[in-house]
Amino acid sequence: MYYDNVTFDTSNVFESINNFIKEYEEQTENIGIGIPGLCNDTMINYTCNLPLSDIDVTDYIKTRLPIYISNDANCAAIAEYEFVDRKMFSNYILVTVGTGIGSGIILNGNLYTGSTGSAGEIGHMTIEKDGLECNCGRKGCFEKYASVSALLKMTELDNLKEVFYLSGKNPNIQKVLDVYIENLAEGLANVVNMYDPEMLVIGGSLAKFEENFMYILKSKIINKLYNKYTYDFNIKSANLKNDAGIIGASILNRYL
């Protein structure tokens, strides 16, 4: 993570990756990498919450194997779609809610990445004009109000387990949580209105606490939908939880 004065040592990260590759290269056909930001081909173009930009990973990763790279939410989406829901849906969106907010979009069974590979950056759509300043340089971004990081900052607590436990005991924490879920519903309703998916999946660290929020979140989203009259809205948490991004990176070659 990269917050405030926290630093990120790029050289150490790539050294660890190279050591891992060296150990398993003979048993591997390709390498898949998930990045929390914008990427194209083998380039990491920009990451909002990590100090990574204009990096060609082939300059740092030493291997004879082909390298595939995509946004980490894309990786999570294709893993959940491929191994859990492919037989049931063809239009499908997974939203990762954690440090930031991202999404992977499956349209007609294919990963949709847009014309430059940057589709799905829903965390940076504005939900409050001239609102809180985001690391991306804009104001009022969705992830500043509805990411896990935002919730922890709002409650001044250390983790989600603590938030949901105390919400039942502390009315002030509950009030903050109510505002947070409203913010989350606002952004997710925008996504559903735009893409009309058959299934919306919640991934990231929030997903493991689905019993604490999913019912009320679904009802709030439905109330905000443009097509609330004929649309059978479906939402669930990711089956693969936080492993989805890793699993999806391993099969990127099937979707890129």
Distances (CA, A) of 190 to 59, 103, 126, 221: 39, 13, 10, 9
Alpha carbon distance 200, 254 (integer Å): 22
The per-residue pLDDT for 7 is 57
In a domain, 127, yes or no: yes
In a domain, 33, yes or no: no
In a domain, 206, yes or no: yes
174 by DSSP, 3-state: which? helix
The per-residue pLDDT for 228 is 83
In a domain, 74, yes or no: no
Residues 101-142: tens digit of each pLDDT = 999 999 999 999 999 989 999 999 999 999 999 999 999 999
The per-residue pLDDT for 231 is 79
Q: Tell me how many degrees the CA angle 86-195-73 measures, rounded to the nearest 5.
A: 60
The per-residue pLDDT for 8 is 61
In a domain, 169, yes or no: yes
- Residue 97: name the closest of 13, 180, 197 by CA: 180
Burial class (CB in 10 A: 0-12, 13-18, 19+), 227: exposed
Q: Tell me how many degrees the CA angle 85-89-94 measures, rounded to the nearest 5.
A: 65
| Cα dihedral 91→97→100→106 (10° resolution) | -10
171-195 vs 148-155: helix axis angle to the nearest 10?
A: 160
In a domain, 215, yes or no: yes
In a domain, 6, yes or no: no
**What DSSP designation does 70 have?**
E
Residue span of the structural domain in which 211 resides: 87-240
Alpha-carbon 139 to chain mean position: 19
Alpha carbon distance 131, 139 (integer Å): 5
N-to-C CA span, the chain: 26
Tell me how many domains the chain contains: 1
The per-residue pLDDT for 2 is 34
Mean pLDDT per 10-residue interval, the chain, length 256 residues: 49 88 93 93 90 90 94 97 96 96 97 93 96 96 98 97 96 98 98 96 95 97 90 92 92 95
Question: Which residues face 92 on adjacent strands?
Answer: 106, 199
Alpha carbon distance 178, 134 (integer Å): 22
Q: What is the pTM of this model?
A: 0.92
Residues 162-191: tens digit of each pLDDT = 999 999 999 999 999 999 999 999 999 999
Question: Which residues face 69 on adjacent strands?
Answer: 33
- Residue 209: name the closest of 156, 152, 248 by CA: 152
The per-residue pLDDT for 230 is 77
CATH of the domain at 129: 3.30.420.40
